[in-house]
Amino acid sequence: MKFVLSGTRTVQNPEKADEAAIEFGFIDARARREYIQLGIAGFFTAYLNSHSSLLAIVFAREHFDLHTIGLLISLYALPVILFTFLSGAIAARIGVLNTCRLAIALLMIGFFSLRYTSAEFWPAVASRLVQGVGQGLFLSSFVTYGQSRLNVKRFVYLLGLLSSMLMLPQAFAPPIGALVLNAFGTQAMFLEATVPACVGLTLMFGLRPIPWPRIARRLDFFSGVRRDRVPAFIAIFVNGTMFGFVTAYLAAMLEARAIPIAAFFLASTTVMFASRLFAMRSFEMINWNILVAAGFLLQGSGFMLVAVAETSWLIAVAGAFFGMGYSVIYPILSAWMSEGLEPNERAGPQALLNTVFSIGVFVMPYPQALIITQFGYGLAVMILASLAIVAACALFVPRFAKPRRS
């Protein structure tokens, strides 16, 4: 496939440029530039949000106990879940693109304000709630706009690549943030995280808006609740619970062991991105139950290594296992929820799936904090590893283990 760069003079005729872009998977030549611009904006926004994995360290340095830290981290879930539900109605009022811009602005305000509020409980709660509103509005509007730039050719591949831009900062942001935090303090870290997001917000301007819906449609969430999809809900909850521990406490756990944070995050993100970029097409042909079960076994193995590892290279191996498992689980479960549904019927079930995932990511750190307080990080990680292995085994229960292919 010949890739035609819109920024060169290779293509003189605009119609030919559009044809080349359409062949590559975009609606027109300008959409290709907008796709790239959106991806960069998403990367910088996610760079800011990835610093949330350091908040447990920040709050600990402000002398909060683990119970309070878990509460500060988990309360974030309330606005995230609520405004995920409301994001469609808000987009219907102000437009998808404006919703995405508003989301990035709120993420910046909420996170940067912690520079001044992190030492006091209630002001910190207010900052986290504002950040949560931004997060709740961001993902659906970002993905919806990205989808509008694509045609049916390579839709899944290009959309997966775009969504990976939101995960890539996990490889860089926590280590860089930790370096700044240790060298210059918390105030410098909040500034370092927010400046790239300002660039991301700027990049959201100059994009063509997509038409606003005439009316806000009510989502049929419960069309996705069927017995054959119960394993998908359980699996996404377990996956979210494990990812929630990684984002909330793993950095603090590694710092306590004097192990570089980059050892895990760089390995996990690199493997995850490479898997989605190069291997996902092959994985799609394998039985879905086997794929998700294998993903959980990889995640569980990674967590077991985290529980016992005392060296950087073992933590890197653990990160690679976790990244490979995570790269497989979420896309397959998302496809599972859409199986047999028309495109206009998928929004409700997908929203419900993401709500369950968000509960695992944002709510479960609170009970995890209680376990860590009483028994330490090691036991908490082993419990999560066991949960992943049990989930993998459950996928082979005969009533659930149906052949599934995309």
**Residue range 248-265, pLDDT digits in tens:** 889 889 988 989 888 998
pLDDT of the residue at 217 = 47
Six token digits for residue 339? 């199986």
pLDDT of the residue at 312 = 93
pLDDT of the residue at 275 = 81
**Residue range 340-372, pLDDT digits in tens:** 654 445 555 666 777 788 888 878 888 998 899
**Cβ count near 285 (within 10 Å):** 9
**Residue range 49-74, pLDDT digits in tens:** 999 989 989 999 998 988 898 888 87
Q: With 50 as the cut, is the pLDDT of residue 6 above it?
A: no
Domains parsed from the chain with CATH numbers: 15-205 (1.20.1250.20), 222-406 (1.20.1250.20)
Q: What is the mean pLDDT of residues 96-100?
A: 90
Q: What is the mean pLDDT of residues 119-133?
A: 95
Q: What is the mean pLDDT of residues 10-38?
A: 81
Inter-residue contact 103 to 138 (CB < 8 Å): yes
**Residue range 296-344, pLDDT digits in tens:** 999 999 999 999 998 999 999 999 999 999 888 877 777 677 666 544 4
**Cβ count near 340 (within 10 Å):** 9
Six token digits for residue 343? 């495109």
Comparing 230 with 169, the larger pLDDT belongs to 169
The percent of residues above 70 in pLDDT, for the chain, comes to 83
Distance CA(377)–CA(357), nearest Å, equals 22
Q: What DSSP string describes 272-334?
A: HHHIIIIIHHHHTTS-HHHHHHHHHHHHHHHHHHHHH--SHHHHHHHHHHHHHHHHHHHHHHH
Distance of CA 263 to the CA centre of its chain: 20
Inter-residue contact 246 to 295 (CB < 8 Å): no
pLDDT of the residue at 334 = 73
Q: With 80 as the cut, is the pLDDT of residue 207 above it?
A: yes
pLDDT band at 11 (very low <50, low <70, confident <90, very high): very low
Ranked by mean pLDDT, the top range of 123-132, 229-238, 364-373 is: 123-132
Q: What is the mean pLDDT of residues 398-404?
A: 51
